Amino acid sequence: MSHLRTVLFPAHPSARAQAAAPRSTRTRRGAAGAAGVLALALAVSGCASSAASSSSSGPASFGTASVALSWIKNYEFAGYYFAEDDGDYTDAGFDKVDLIAGGGNTNSWDLVLSGQAQVGLASDLTGITGAINDGAGLKIIGAQFVKNPVGFVSLAGNPIRTVADLKGKRIGVDAGGKLAVEAVLKANDLPADTVEFVSVPNGVDPLMNGEVDALIGFLTNYPIAVKNAGGDVVTMSFADANYAQFGDAVVVSDKELAENRDELKAIMKANIEGWNTALTKGTDAIADIAMKHGGADNGLDKQLQVDSASVLPSFMLTPDTVKNGIFTLTPDLVDQAVASLAAAGITADPSMFDTSLLQEVYAENPDLIPGFTVPAS
C-alpha cells in the first residue's frame, strides 16, 4: 500500500510534495508481482525460524546497517533517526546506518530481496504476502504499528464510531480502500450493500463538502487534515472494526535469516532502542528529529509533524507490546491478520511469518522493555 497524499497535492506529487502529505490508502503494484491493496496491513506469526542463531561473538564490525523505509523521511520513522543520532547502530556493531527513504516506485521488500537493504518496512501485508506467494524468499518478523493505522474518518455530525454505524453510509474510497471496506463488511457478516461506495480523489474535501459520510485513510494524519479544515473529526480503526492488521511490517530475507541472523538481531536491537527513546522523549522531540532528517529534503510542515507524532503511541503501544516489546506480534494477532486477509480474498499463511528473532532479541536484552503504559483511547 502506498501512503495518503491529502488535501493540497495532486495524484502524482513531486517528492517534495509527497513529504508534507499525509499517508493515504493509495496502492501500487509491487515489482515482485504483488497486487497492492489498501493499507490493511501487516502481520506476523509465531513460526520459529529453522535457522539456528550464529555465533554470538560475531565479526569485529558488521559494516553498514541498512533499513528501507516505507515512505519519505518524516515523523513516522523517528525511532530510526534517534538510533542513528544516539549511536545505537554503532554500539550494536555497525560502522554506520543507511536509512533508505521510500516513496518511489520500488517497494522496500524489493530492496531486501536484492540485498540493498537488510531490513525493510512494508506499509501493508497485501503486497508482501503477494510477493511471497509469487516465490519471494521473505519473512515478516514484526510490525511497527501493531494496531492497524487505517480506518474510517467521519464528522461528529454524522459519525461512524461502531460497525453498526456503517449502515447506509456513503464511503469515499479508491480501489484499495473499497477492497478494505469490503473485507471489513465480510469480517462482520454484513451484506455488501451495507454501505454505498463513492470514488473520490485525494484529500478531505469530499468529506468536508458532504459528498461522502466518511473517508478511508491513515489515522495518523487524515484526522489532522480534517481538523485543520475545520471539521470535528470522529475515527474508527479497522482494528476496532474486527479487521486485525498491522502497519510498517518488518521484512527480511530468508537468506539473511539463515546466514546473518546476528546482524539482523543487532539491527533490530538498535531499532528498538531508537523507538524506546522516541516514545520516551515524546511528541516535540519526534517532530524535531523528523525535521532534522527529512524537513529540508521533503518540505515537511513542522506542525503536521507535531500533530501526527502525537498519535503514534496509540498504534504502537498495546497491552501486548508494552509487555513483550516494540515490534512484537503474538500468535493470536498473526492468526487474526491471516484470517482478515482471507476475508479480503488475499492468500496468507503463518509460514510467511517468523517472530522468533525478536523473541531472541528481547530474551537476550530484557532491558529493552522499559515499562511503557498503554495510551488512553
Does 328 reside within a domain? Answer: yes
Q: Which residues of the chain have pLDDT under 50?
A: 1-21, 24-59
119 and 261 in one domain? yes
116 and 169 in one domain? no
The residue assigned the cell 530484557 is 366
**Residue 44: its pLDDT value, please?**
33
Tell me the CA distances in angstroms from 171 to 166, 228, 326, 331, one per residue in order.
Answer: 9, 21, 33, 32
Q: Among residues 218, 241, 264, which one ends one of the domains?
A: 241
The C-alpha angle 32, 2, 194, rounded to 5 degrees, equals: 110
150-155 and 119-122 beta bridge pairing? unpaired
Does 6 reside within a domain? Answer: no
SS3 content of the chain, % helix, strand, coil (to 5): 45, 15, 40
> Which pairs from 286-293 meet CB under 8 Å and 24+ separation?
286/75, 286/78, 286/312, 287/75, 289/78, 289/81, 289/82, 289/85, 290/73, 290/74, 290/75, 290/77, 290/78, 290/81, 292/81, 293/73, 293/77, 293/81, 293/99
**Residue 219: its pLDDT value, please?**
86
Does 5 reside within a domain? Answer: no
Q: Note the pLDDT tens digit of each residue in 19-57.
A: 344 554 433 323 333 333 223 233 333 333 333 333 344
User: What's the CATH number where 349 sits?
Assistant: 3.40.190.10
Does 1 reside within a domain? Answer: no
Does 8 reside within a domain? Answer: no
Does 9 reside within a domain? Answer: no
136 and 36 in one domain? yes
Give the other-Cβ count within 10 Å of 236's Cβ. 21
* Sheet of strand 196-199: strand arrangement: 196-199, 170-173, 214-218, 150-155, 233-237
132 and 35 in one domain? yes
- Containing structural domain, residue 131: 15-148+245-368
**Residue 47: its pLDDT value, please?**
38
Q: Which helix (H) or strand (E) holds 257?
A: helix 254-259
342 and 252 in one domain? yes
Q: Note the pLDDT tens digit of each residue in 301-353.
A: 899 899 889 989 989 999 999 999 999 999 998 998 898 888 777 889 999 99
Q: Among residues 192, 208, 241, which one ends one of the domains?
A: 241
**Residue 345: its pLDDT value, please?**
75
Does 304 reside within a domain? Answer: yes
28 and 123 in one domain? yes
Helix, strand, or coil (residue 263): helix
Does 2 reside within a domain? Answer: no
Q: Determine the Cα–Cα distance for residues 255 and 169; give it in Å rounded to an integer.
A: 47
| Domain count for the chain | 2
Is 123:39 a contact under the CB 8 Å cutoff? Answer: yes
**Residue 176: its pLDDT value, please?**
65
Q: Which residues contact 211 (CB under 8 A, 6 or more apart)?
A: 170, 172, 198, 200, 205
